[in-house]
């Protein structure tokens, strides 16, 4: 068990996924609080149903999700439950459950967001800083639709979040909300704070001139059947100079594809190759899209530069794409990345996708840097 920041603005703790009495141990390690919200990042090896039933943190709202790996006080972790508590002395939070993404009622959701924001403003009018934190089922394929709907209700409030994971199995992912464990669900938490906050998004990828066109796709299922009028996996492999049988998650991490939207490039990460040779993507894809291969820069140097630019936050809550973790493993840089995550106080989880304002993105780290209230340092 590890703990950090007990009694501070942001308290964190972690236990092994199979730890008996994990919820009680995490509560002891976090301290008495009080907490505005406690977030649990849960390895798929843990019994999330039992954890949800037993999770008590002094009356704090408890939310969470399953992961594709955890980020604890030690850096990259596997097979753990990580708890993050936001102190009620500096934060007010209102988690809103979206119980069924298959029946997304956008108008109701927008109204709920507006009411939640107004309620927090009335409760803490002297606090000026806000953000929204989203956790969403990573196998729902509804993240793009959801972030678009959320943007209409958030106004100037910055949003970041991550898609729940299931290691590298891609079988089932869960959202946790106040004792409930749900699939095809999401929870968006409106947060108001006395602390200055900065929502950020980073990646270390540069588009190349090598392009391809999606010529046949199933957008609802995020499947690409043909690229350049050829079977998708075979054509992608050809462009890389590889045999289609050699395509793995590590290949996709090392050779991502990007699409240009609104003057910026966004990754459209490949999840896996289907048995029939189709490519399954992590995010929205459609016929006619022009994709460019991208090349990664040195992820360790890039991460150090980007985290250093955030200044000296008290903590960083981050959603980090599983493909970044895969790349670190493939290039034997896991230790160096973990050292940076420890040094800069990053906690969170590895995701099946990230959300930033109105966008669902891939192969990025997105998060919020939390700074001490003005005058405390």
* Selection from 293, 289, 292, 294 nearest residue 215 by Cα: 289
Distances, alpha carbon 268 to alpha carbons 294, 330, 349, 354, in Å: 11, 20, 20, 11
Closest CA to 323 of 280, 281, 367, 364: 364
Break the chain into its structural domains and give their ranges. 2-202+300-370, 205-296
Closest to 81 in 3D by CA, of 106, 108, 54: 54
Helix ranges, the chain (H): 22-30, 48-54, 106-123, 143-154, 232-240, 249-254, 299-308, 322-330, 334-343
- From the list 133, 151, 258, 287, the residue with the least C-alpha distance to 197 is 133
d(CA 171, CA 214): 26
Name every residue whose Cβ is closer than 8 Å to that of residue 130 and which is 6 or more positions away in sequence.
117, 120, 157, 158, 190, 191, 192, 193, 197
Query: 95, 161 in Cβ contact below 8 A?
Result: no
Q: SS3 of 295, please?
A: strand
- Three-state SS at 15: strand
Number of Cβ within a 10 Å radius of residue 301 = 12
| Whole-number Cα distances in Å, 219 to 137, 151, 277, 328 | 18, 22, 16, 30
Q: Which residues does residue 132 pair with via DSSP β-bridges, in sequence order? A: 159, 190
Write out the two tokens for 83: 């708890």
DSSP classification of residue 330: H
Cβ-count burial 98-123 (b if 16+ within 10 Å, e if not) = beebeeeeeeebbebbeebbeebeee
> Angle at CA 361, nearest 5°, toward 61 and 161?
10
In angstroms, the CA 73 to CA 77 distance is: 9
Q: What is the pLDDT along the chain (377 residues), one digit of tens a residue?
A: 555 544 479 999 999 999 999 999 999 999 988 999 999 999 999 999 999 999 999 989 999 999 999 999 999 999 999 999 999 999 999 999 999 999 999 999 999 999 999 999 999 999 999 999 999 999 999 999 999 999 989 999 999 999 999 999 999 999 999 999 999 999 999 999 999 999 999 999 999 999 999 999 999 999 999 999 999 999 999 999 999 999 998 899 889 999 988 778 888 889 999 999 999 999 889 999 999 999 999 999 999 999 999 999 999 999 999 999 999 999 999 999 999 999 999 999 999 999 999 999 999 999 999 999 876 65
Nearest in space to 368 (alpha carbons), one of 189, 205, 185, 177: 189
CA distance 302 to 120: 36
């Amino acid at each position: 068990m590890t703990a950090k920041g007990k009694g501070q603005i942001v308290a964190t703790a972690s236990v092994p996924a199979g730890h008996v009495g994990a919820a009680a141990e995490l509560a002891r390690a976090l301290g008495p609080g009080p907490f505005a919200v406690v977030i649990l990042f849960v390895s798929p090896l843990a019994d999330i149903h039992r954890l949800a039933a037993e999770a008590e943190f002094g009356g704090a709202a408890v939310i969470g999700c399953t992961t594709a790996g955890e980020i604890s006080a030690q850096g990259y972790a596997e097979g753990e439950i990580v708890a993050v508590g936001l102190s009620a002395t500096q934060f007010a939070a209102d988690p809103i459950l979206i119980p069924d993404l298959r029946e997304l009622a956008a108008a109701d959701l927008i109204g709920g967001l507006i009411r939640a924001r107004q309620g927090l403003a009335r409760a803490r009018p002297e606090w000026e800083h806000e953000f929204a934190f989203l956790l969403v089922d990573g196998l729902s394929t509804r993240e793009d639709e959801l972030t678009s709907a959320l943007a209409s209700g958030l106004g100037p409030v910055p949003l970041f979040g991550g898609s729940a994971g299931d290691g590298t199995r891609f079988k089932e992912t869960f959202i946790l909300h106040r004792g409930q464990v749900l699939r095809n669900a999401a929870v968006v938490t409106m947060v108001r704070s006395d602390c200055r906050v900065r929502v950020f998004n980073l990646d270390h990828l540069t588009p190349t001139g090598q392009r391809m066109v999606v010529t046949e796709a199933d957008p609802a299922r995020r499947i690409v059947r043909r690229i350049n009028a050829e079977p998708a996996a075979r054509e992608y492999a050809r462009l890389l100079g590889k045999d289609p049988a050699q395509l793995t998650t590590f290949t996709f991490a090392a050779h991502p594809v990007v699409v240009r939207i609104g003057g910026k490039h966004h990754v459209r990460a490949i999840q896996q190759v289907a048995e029939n040779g189709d490519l399954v993507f992590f995010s929205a894809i459609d016929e006619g899209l022009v994709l460019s291969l991208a090349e990664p820069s040195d992820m360790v140097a890039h991460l150090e530069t980007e985290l250093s630019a955030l200044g000296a936050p008290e903590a960083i809550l981050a959603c980090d794409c599983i493909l970044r973790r895969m790349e670190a493993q493939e290039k034997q840089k896991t230790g160096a990345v973990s050292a940076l995550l420890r040094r800069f106080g990053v906690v969170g989880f590895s995701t099946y996708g990230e959300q930033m304002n109105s966008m669902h993105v891939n192969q990025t780290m997105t998060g919020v840097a939390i700074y001490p209230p003005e005058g405390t340092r």
